[in-house]
């Protein structure tokens, strides 16, 4: 049990750590103060990074469930999926793949710049990454608009005005997967962009340098996972094997 005396004694004994360890920063940067419940910056780094990987593991399982369902329905209705895939513009899908791969590259370069306290380069790389994310969503918007105009939308709203799916069973099934998977993925792109902008806000204030680049690193991991999911979505939706 915690008596007031014990609690007071505990606080007094760790007075030096009450405001957290400071990681000395080069000129022009704001020194990072380690969260008070960590003894060292390294303890904070490894704990937060482990938590991020655990979160990414749940993301793998979130999309993994969708992929398992995709493979099952693909097995039941191979023709539906093949014809459905042909309705998508694989050139736009390939373009978006290249955009995301490039954005992952610039993200990795941004993390590298943060590790080396190269503030201007980091901001530039993160900025390019956000613009790539925006480009991805713009391409996606035009694709979505084309699908809506043809009535190739999920579930009960599936109307298929031009009867492109008339020759196969349950044509809406492919578009259930297309919309659900790309919408959840697109939401991740949007969230990733907002997170990068948030990191850039801190970056502009000089919060990230060699001694503390944790937020840049963790947001980078998130962004790479979004890229990783798309690496599987592209062939499964646009080039349906």
Partner 1 sequence: MSAHSAHAEAHGHAPGAPVLVTHHHVSTVAILTKVFLTLVILTIITVGVSQVDFGSANMVIAMLVAAVKAALVMTFFMHLRYDTAINNIFILSSFAFLALLFVFTLTDFSTRKAVNPIHAKRAPIAEPDTHYLWKTPRTKEHKHE
Residue 49 binds partner 1, judged by CB under 8 A: yes
Task: Determine if 194 is a binding residue for partner 1 (CB under 8 A).
Answer: no
User: Is the CB of residue 192 less than 8 Å from the CB of residue 223?
Assistant: yes
Please, which residue, 97 or 123, has the CB nearer to partner 1?
97
- The residue behind tokens 């080069």 is 26
Q: How far is the CB of 54 from partner 1 (least distance, A)?
A: 6
Complex with partner 1: residue 7 or 76, whichever CB lies closer: 76
Restricted to residues 68-107, the positions that interact with partner 1 (CB under 8 A) are 68-69, 71-72, 75-76, 90, 94, 97-98, 101-102, 104-105, 107
Question: Of 3, 4, 16, 156, which lies in the binding site for partner 1, with binding defined by CB under 8 A?
Answer: 156
Residue 141 in contact with partner 1, rule: CB under 8 A: no
Q: Does 108 bind partner 1 (CB under 8 A)?
A: yes
Site for partner 1 in 202-231 (CB under 8 A): 209-213, 220-221, 224-225, 227-228, 231
Here the contacts of 237-240 (C-beta below 8 Å, separation 24 or greater) are 237/85, 237/88, 237/93, 237/177, 237/178, 237/181, 237/182, 238/85, 238/88, 238/89, 238/90, 238/93, 238/94, 239/85, 239/90, 239/93, 240/74, 240/81, 240/82, 240/84, 240/85, 240/86, 240/174
Interface with partner 1 includes 38 (CB under 8 A)?
no
85/29 Cα distance (integer angstroms):
50
Does 234 contact partner 1 by CB under 8 A?
A: yes
CA distances from 177 to 20, 159, 184 (A): 48, 16, 11
Query: Would you say 73 or 150 has its CB closer to partner 1?
Result: 73
CA pair distance 50, 217, nearest whole angstrom: 12
Q: Closer CB to partner 1, residue 44 or residue 227?
A: 227
Asked whether the beta carbons of 211 and 217 are under 8 A apart, the reply is no
> Cα separation of 144 and 155, whole Å?
15
Residue partners of 183: CB distance under 8 A and separation at least 6? none
Task: Compute the least distance from the CB of residue 239 to partner 1, in Å.
Answer: 4
Give me the residues that bind partner 1 (CB under 8 A), please.
23-27, 29, 45-46, 49-50, 53-54, 56-58, 60-61, 64-65, 67-69, 71-72, 75-76, 90, 94, 97-98, 101-102, 104-105, 107-109, 112, 115-117, 155-156, 169-170, 172, 209-213, 220-221, 224-225, 227-228, 231-232, 234-236, 239, 241
């Amino acid at each position: 049990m915690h008596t007031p005396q014990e609690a007071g004694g505990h606080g007094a004994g760790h007075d030096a750590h009450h405001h957290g360890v400071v990681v000395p920063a080069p000129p022009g940067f704001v020194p990072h103060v380690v969260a008070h419940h960590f003894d060292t910056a390294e303890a904070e780094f490894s704990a937060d990074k482990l938590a991020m990987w655990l979160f990414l593991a749940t993301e793998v399982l979130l999309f993994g469930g969708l992929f398992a369902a995709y493979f099952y329905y693909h097995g039941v209705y191979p023709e539906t999926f093949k014809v459905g895939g042909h309705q998508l513009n694989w050139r736009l899908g390939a373009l978006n793949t290249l955009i995301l791969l490039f954005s992952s590259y610039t993200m990795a370069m941004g993390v590298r710049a943060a590790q080396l306290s190269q503030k201007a380069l980091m901001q530039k790389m993160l900025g390019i990454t956000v613009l790539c994310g925006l480009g991805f969503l713009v391409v996606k918007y035009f694709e979505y608009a084309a699908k809506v105009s043809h009535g190739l939308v999920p579930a009960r709203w599936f109307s298929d005005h031009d009867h492109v799916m008339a020759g196969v069973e349950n044509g809406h099934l492919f578009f259930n997967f297309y919309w659900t998977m790309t919408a959840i993925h697109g939401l991740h792109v949007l969230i990733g962009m907002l997170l990068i902008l948030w990191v850039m806000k801190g970056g502009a204030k000089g919060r990230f340098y060699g001694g503390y680049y944790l937020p840049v690193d963790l947001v980078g991991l998130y962004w790479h996972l979004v890229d990783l999911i798309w690496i599987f979505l592209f062939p499964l939706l646009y080039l349906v094997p």
